[in-house]
């Protein structure tokens, strides 16, 4: 199943390259296909390098959640309908370029966070502290407390800017913000339990990185 998913992502990336090189109205959708397939493949690859013990089929994040799949489907439907009804909306190259830059920045930041955290990074919030679990505050973690979430947040919005999908830009921004607000609060409760005052001191010095999200309000 791992090989099947990897081949599927490779095929999608190849189709995206072909569309990107064409002069058709689907060129920007090709950029999107490349970005989406590369994101999911690299999630598995970096996990395999960093933390092979946690590696599984779910590391591709292709089956992240029903809501995630519904959001992807919604973006495809919006792009197709607007391309048919308002074809000029999908030809704003400078806007798609801005979206592509957001995608590249977001994905690079997320992968830098995963590589910096090493074996401490896991796609699932951990409820028990392992012997090797340490608080990472260097590298991109010196910029933001949750750089992997910051990267994913701007990557997801960037995909819709790239597609010039006005409805999904707003929808993705609101849904992603709400998801990461809840996820950060849940994760920080665990981190305070693991590291106590050390994490609270880090939390006071370094922002979460996401707009209007300060994390859990809890003091020892």
pLDDT tens-digit map of 38-77: 999 999 999 999 989 889 999 999 987 899 999 999 999 9
Residue 24 has pLDDT above 70, yes or no: yes
pLDDT, mean of residues 22-35: 93
Question: Each residue of 130-167: pLDDT tens digit?
Answer: 767 899 999 999 999 999 999 999 999 999 999 999 99
90-99, 122-131, 184-193, 206-215 — which is least confidently predicted?
122-131
103 assigned to some structural domain: yes
Q: Which pLDDT score, from 0 to 100, does residue 218 have? A: 64
Structural tokens at position 150: 């910051």
27 φ, ψ to 5°? Answer: -55, -45
Longest dimension (CA), the chain: 60
Instruction: Look up the domain containing 188 and give its range.
Output: 64-205
- The percentage of residues in the chain with a pLDDT greater than 90, rounded to a whole number, is 83
Q: Is 31 a member of any domain?
A: no
Flag whether 92 is in a domain: yes
Quickly tell me which residue has 């519904």 as its tokens: 70
**pTM exceeds cut of 0.85:** yes
Distance CA 150, CA 130 (A): 25
Give residues with Cβ within 8 angstroms of 92, minimum separation 6: 164
- In the predicted structure, residue 219 carries a pLDDT above the cut 60: no
Residue 43 belongs to a domain: no
Residue with the bigger pLDDT between 198 and 64: it is 198
Does residue 9 sit within a domain?
no
Tell me if 30 is assigned to some domain.
no
| CB neighbour list of residue 152: distance below 8 Å, 6 or more residues apart | 106, 110, 176, 180
Q: Give the model's confidence band at 180: pLDDT under 50 very low, under 70 low, under 90 confident, else very high.
A: very high
CB 146 within 8 A of CB 134: no
Residue 135 to residue 39: CA distance in whole angstroms: 26
- The total of structural domains in the chain comes to 1
Q: What is the CATH number of the domain that holds 92?
A: 1.20.120.1630
Residue 54 in domain: no
Angle at 108 between CA 5 and CA 116, to 5 degrees: 95
Q: Are 115 and 46 in contact (CB under 8 A)?
A: yes
In a domain, 210, yes or no: no
**Confidence band for 129, pLDDT divided at 50, 70 and 90:** confident
């Amino acid at each position: 199943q791992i090989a099947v998913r990897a081949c599927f992502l490779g095929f999608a990336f190849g189709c995206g390259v072909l569309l990107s090189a064409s002069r058709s109205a689907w060129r920007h959708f090709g950029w999107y296909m490349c970005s989406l397939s590369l994101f999911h493949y690299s999630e598995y690859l970096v996990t395999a390098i960093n933390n092979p013990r946690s590696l599984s089929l779910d590391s591709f994040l292709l089956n992240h959640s029903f809501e995630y799949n519904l959001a992807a489907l919604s973006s495809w439907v919006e792009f197709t309908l607007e391309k048919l009804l308002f074809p000029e909306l999908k030809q704003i190259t400078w806007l798609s370029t801005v979206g592509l830059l957001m995608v590249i920045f977001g994905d690079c930041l997320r992968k830098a966070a995963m590589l910096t955290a090493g074996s401490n990074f896991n796609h699932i919030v951990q409820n028990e502290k392992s012997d090797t679990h340490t608080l990472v505050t260097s590298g991109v973690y010196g910029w933001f407390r949750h750089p992997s979430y910051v990267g994913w947040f701007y990557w997801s919005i960037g995909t819709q800017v790239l597609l010039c999908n006005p409805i999904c830009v707003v929808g993705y921004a609101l849904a992603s913000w709400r998801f990461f607000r809840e996820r950060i609060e849940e994760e920080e409760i665990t981190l305070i339990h693991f590291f106590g005052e050390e994490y609270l001191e880090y939390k006071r010095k370094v922002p979460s990185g996401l707009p209007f999200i300060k994390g859990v309000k809890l003091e020892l």
